[in-house]
Amino acid sequence: MCGISGFLDFKKKSTHANLKKMTDTLVHRGPDDSGYFFETSPEAHIGLGHRRLSIIDLSSHGSQPMAFENLVMVYNGEIYNFKEIRKELENLNYTFTSSSDTEVALKAFHRWGIRAVDKFNGMFAMAIYDRIKSKLTLIRDRAGVKPLFWYHKNGLFLFGSELKSFHQHPSFEKHLNTDGLALYLQFGYIPQPHTIFCHTHKLRAGHFLEVDLGREHIREEKYWDVFDYYQKRKLKISEADAITETEKILKSACEYRMIADVPVGMFLSGGYDSSLVTALLQKDRTEKLKTFSIGFHEEKYNEAHYAREVATWLGTDHTEYYCTPKDALDIIPLLPEIYDEPFGDSSAIPTTLVSRIARQSVTVSLSADGGDEVFGGYEKYQQALKVNRILSFLPAKNVISASLIDIEPENLGFINKILRFDRRFRKVTQALESSHAGNIQALVSSVFTPKEIRQFLLAGSSSASTAFDDFILLDKQLSVLDRLLAIDYKSYQLDDILVKVDRATMSVSLEGREPLLDHRIIEYVARLDSCLKIKKGNKKYLLKEIVHRYLPKEMMDRPKKGFSVPVFYWFKNELRQFLLHYLDEQKIREAGIFNPLKVARLRDTYLAGSNLNINQIWLLLMFEMWREKWLK
């Protein structure tokens, strides 16, 4: 695991010192070593920088940038099947000087070009400069586990693992992208390819980007898309065979992710996903797997006892830690630095904390993200399915919506108070205007509705395209559930869950690995019938049936809590000063981004006792903290 950065400067103003500053700001991603490549070509100044966290082949032979003939590469991630690819290359007369996956990836690209990526099983973000063809290629893994940003304006092209590296280049322009901000307010994250800055982009997962130095021309192309697998013909297979084959692939995925020359552990929440991965890893191992969990003293949010029960049953070496308001007080001020783009998932707090705890014992930790998005575990899927069924029987839904849309829910009196109708009412009226379930899914997932965004944002914003808009591109014969799963794979999972884990783990130089996002699992489960994902209201049916082979059903069958945080309690008490400081009406007015009266009203309503809009409060707080860190 590493951090990469670099530039192509067609005006030839960038220097080796610029490259070093950009790269070294990513030292948390790679504290073990650094390397820099800088040269002047007829077209541009070229810089590639690398910070190394040594995981495989700890010797200097695995250092980067790595060169072979006409190619120079910097690379962040792991290719888990590198030993098999190495054997294939050796049969083609390639020789190796290291035991690293980096050298394998570089020589695979030399042999097969961009099609080498089809052979990779792993997580990766890489930049490869071809000195003969005068071409830079950026590549990002299929699931988007590893981040990669790029910027292009006025003859300057930048790339990097995190946006903070761009701030170290003197020609980077920090212009707020109001479209990106509107997306943040809607979802709590900024979906690919958008970012919070103008002229700055996320390279899409499953894509590569080529820059032709001769023409300063940029081309982005897809090499893998989850949609393709959902739209393939469904497998004709029995339930028993589907369970057996899925379990087989899961075992292989877990074993691949144990390959390392450093200690490896596991984040264990006690839920189905992490318990299954832990069970697969611990089974047939004599050495106890190190597992880590976070608990809360607020019982409503606490699952630590479940994790402890699973760890005891499986026989792991378990560590648990209870997150306190003091811990949150320590971590919250660091979030704008860790997440250098506005990020609204409050579970970043315990994720950062558990990463700190794990890093004291291991250098790599597996996580079990993706189980809900791949196997159908969220309640919102059932909600969306219900709403979609209802709307299909409402031919006059636009008329109904028009009659409701301007009614303020607080005017519904006691109904609003008893049923917490405020948020639901707004979302239902918006959903009635929607033309397809993709829009409904976006609204179910929204924090601020489009109408609210218009009320809060002083500057206008246009409607930016997201994965939710791709819903209509999917085959209408595909089940609504499969379409929703495919959309979440390319949105919430990618730009919320994976961003949260990558930045939290990397902030303490811990490599996070995701066995449930092995592309073989994604491709196989996508082709299974929807009834194996949600069966008679039983969410994540297929995965649960596998779990029951390793853990008692009575231990696991309990209500899903999710990795949520008691910010509602904390901000009424110990953390109250954060709200009063950052959401101060005068501060908001001076910044000129949000309507100060709207923000003040929202804040005061919350402090007066309402918890209906705590997620909106959190998003505004995180943005204001980010703004003070990165825009001032």
User: Do 208 and 220 contact (CB within 8 A), yes or no?
Assistant: yes
What are the two backbone dihedrals, phi and then psi, of residue 6, each rounded to the nearest 5 degrees? 170, 180
* Per-residue pLDDT at 43: 97
Least confident range from 73-87, 344-358, 442-456, 485-499: namely: 442-456
228-376+498-556 belongs to which homologous superfamily? HUPs (3.40.50.620)
Q: Is the peptide bond before 559 cis (omega within 30 degrees of 0)?
A: no
pLDDT of 362 above 60: yes
2-224 belongs to which homologous superfamily? Aminohydrolase, N-terminal nucleophile (Ntn) domain (3.60.20.10)
Q: pLDDT per residue over 428-487, tens digit each?
A: 444 444 445 555 556 566 899 888 999 999 987 666 667 666 666 666 778 888 988 998
Amino acid at 627: R
pLDDT of 424 above 90: no
**Which entry of 2, 254, 323, 531 is annotated as an active-site residue?**
2
DSSP-derived secondary structure for 346-387: TTHHHHHHHHHHHHTT-SEEE--TTHHHHHT--HHHHHHHHH
Q: What is the DSSP letter of 16?
A: H
Which has more pLDDT, 412 or 151? 151
495 is in an annotated binding site: no
Asked whether the CA dihedral 403, 409, 414, 418 is positive or negative, the reply is positive
Structural domain boundaries in the chain: 2-224, 228-376+498-556, 379-487, 567-630
Q: pLDDT per residue over 121-133, tens digit each?
A: 999 999 999 999 9
Asked whether the CA dihedral 163, 165, 168, 170 is positive or negative, the reply is negative
* Per-residue pLDDT at 418: 36
Pair of tokens at residue 38: 């800088």
Q: pLDDT per residue over 277-336, tens digit each?
A: 999 999 989 999 999 999 998 877 788 999 999 999 999 999 999 998 889 889 999 999
* Per-residue pLDDT at 398: 47
DSSP-derived secondary structure for 548-584: TTTS-HHHH-S----S---HHHHHHTTTHHHHHHHT-
Q: What is the DSSP letter of 593?
A: S
Radius of gyration of the chain (CA): 24
User: Do 173 and 199 contact (CB within 8 A), yes or no?
Assistant: yes
Q: Residue 537 — pLDDT band, cuts 50, 70, 90?
A: confident
* Per-residue pLDDT at 577: 85
pLDDT of 408 above 80: no
541 contacts: CB under 8 Å, gap ≥ 6: 375, 376, 531, 532, 533, 534, 535
345 is in an annotated binding site: no
Let me know if 198 is a catalytic residue: no
Helix (H, G, I), strand (E, B) or coil at 50: strand
User: Percent of the chain, pLDDT > 70?
Assistant: 87
* Per-residue pLDDT at 414: 40
Q: What angle do CA 162, 166, 172 make, to 5 degrees?
A: 150
User: Do 20 and 163 contact (CB within 8 A), yes or no?
Assistant: no
Q: Which residues pair with 122 in a beta bridge?
A: 79
Q: pLDDT per residue over 144-201, tens digit each?
A: 999 999 999 999 999 999 999 999 999 999 999 999 999 999 999 999 999 999 999 9
- Cβ count within 10 A of residue 339: 25
pLDDT of 404 above 80: no
* Per-residue pLDDT at 438: 52
* Per-residue pLDDT at 394: 55
Asked whether the CA dihedral 293, 294, 296, 299 is positive or negative, the reply is negative
CA distance 465 to 484: 17
The reported pTM is 0.91
* 33-40, strands of its sheet edge to edge: 33-40, 45-52, 2-9, 156-160, 149-153, 200-202
Q: pLDDT per residue over 256-273, tens digit each?
A: 999 999 999 999 999 999
Helix (H, G, I), strand (E, B) or coil at 8: strand
